[in-house]
Structure 1
Amino acid sequence: MEHAATPELFSHIRVVMGMVVSLSMARLLTGLAVFVQHPHRNRLSFLHLGWTLFLFLFLIHFWWWEFRLHDLATIDFGVYVFVIAFCCVFFFLCVLLFPASIEEYAGYEAYFLSRRAWFFGFLALAYGLDLVDTALKGRQYFGSFGLEYPLRNAFYMAGCLIAAFTINRRFHVAFLVTAILYQAIWIYRVFDMLG
């Protein structure tokens, strides 16, 4: 059954989304706090910390763009389930970055590279779901981002698929740096954070 997208319904959905996104942020922040609490327990990893920064930025961006859900004329249970599932993908990515224990690994980089297929598979899924999410908000909204938007997502998904299968550290570093810079520039340009 479809319901008109009333402010009450939108608020209800945002509360559930907020809980899952908050758990995701808490996982990242708790994981980072361990480096302060126990600085010598595990070696820091540029790749691991870089993808943590990327995911933190992606989560903030996700929460901002989900405000557009209020523009939907109707919201049905399918939309509700889709949005919650999308949030759950972010939570799973955060748990992959900061598991309960990495004792059997030489450090966070060894752990991260051993789980790269899972991490990058879910990150590619997030970019695929992002396309669907934006399409839900309407053809005009989707089109407002131009051709760059689907090409951007295709770039991220292709990079994720390569990163899932290669152990080449140069590729991983180049992909990480490109991904963070492009994500920051995209957010600034599209959402005009400073203007």
Structure 2
Amino acid sequence: MEAFPHIRIVLGMILSLSLATLLKAAVKFIQHPHRTKPYWIHMLYAFFIFLELLLFWWWERKLSGILHWTFPAYFFTVCYIMTFYGLASLLFPDDIKDYEGYEDFFYSRRKWFFGLLAITNVFDVADTLLKGVQHFLSLNYPYYLTTSAIDIVLCIVAMKSTNRKFHAFLVTWFILFKLIDIGRIYFYW
């Protein structure tokens, strides 16, 4: 029996929980507009994680090409998708009563968020290699620059910085490059 359909179900469940966390939080802002004020940088990171989740699911279809699955490869792939659930949950905890709002919460938890985002980038490189060296090499320089080296360094800087301008730049950087990736890969820009 082929292993990937079973693996895809587990990945889909964790991805669904991640999306549900983001969607539930977004709807809370509509349901209770005066309860907690959104913070625009925080909300842009939520949009960025939403894009990442959509792309993760799209790219993981390439895992169907792996004919022989091992438990370590399965374990790694599940851990990789769990990082996205962690990111979504770090953006939107069950409550923020201990904080003045989402801005205060975001900056107080930035080390966790950006540490996990850096780990996610490392996992992405390993996941790309899991799909084959040929696939890895086919992605070219934008992938190598943004996903691996630069993004990880920027995450490390973000862990240490509370500078609002830097964080505005960073979330813009992440979203811009993600949209460029989508355009380059799917619309042949």
The two structures have a TM-score, normalised by structure 2, of: 0.96
Give SS of 1:75's match: coil
Residues 47-93 of structure 1: CA deviation (Å, up to 9, x unaligned): 11000000000000000000000111311011100000001111011
Residues 120-176 of structure 1: CA deviation (Å, up to 9, x unaligned): 000010010000000011110000011332211211111111111100110000011
Alpha-carbon RMSD across the aligned residues, in angstroms, is: 1.3
The residue number in structure 2 matching 1:3 is none
The residue number in structure 1 matching 2:157 is 162
Letter in 2 for 1:144: S
Distance in 1 of aligned mates of 2:121 and 2:182: 15
Give SS of 1:118's match: helix
Distance in 1 of aligned mates of 2:179 and 2:143: 14
Number of aligned residue pairs: give it. 188
Alignment counterpart, residue 186 of structure 1, candidates 161, 172, 181: 181
Give SS of 1:134's match: helix
Distance in 1 of aligned mates of 2:126 and 2:180: 22
The structure 1 segments of at least 4 consecutive aligned residues displaced by more than 4 Å after TM superposition are none
- Sequence identity of aligned pairs in percent? 41
Query: Runs of 5+ in structure 1 lacking a partner?
Result: 1-5
Alignment counterpart, residue 77 of structure 2, candidates 60, 83, 98: 83
1:177 aligns with 2:154: no
Distance in 1 of aligned mates of 2:187 and 2:74: 28
1:54 aligns with 2:48: yes
**Cα offset for 1:193?**
4.6
Letter in 1 for 2:167: H
Alignment counterpart, residue 101 of structure 1, candidates 95, 99, 104: 95
Query: Runs of 5+ in structure 2 lacking a partner?
Result: none
1:33 aligns with 2:27: yes
1:143 aligns with 2:137: yes
Distance in 1 of aligned mates of 2:18 and 2:154: 23
Letter in 2 for 1:127: N
Letter in 1 for 2:181: W
**Cα offset for 1:194?**
7.8
Distance in 1 of aligned mates of 2:107 and 2:187: 34
The residue number in structure 2 matching 1:65 is 59
Give SS of 1:147's match: helix
Alignment counterpart, residue 6 of structure 2, candidates 12, 30, 48: 12
The two structures have a TM-score, normalised by structure 1, of: 0.93
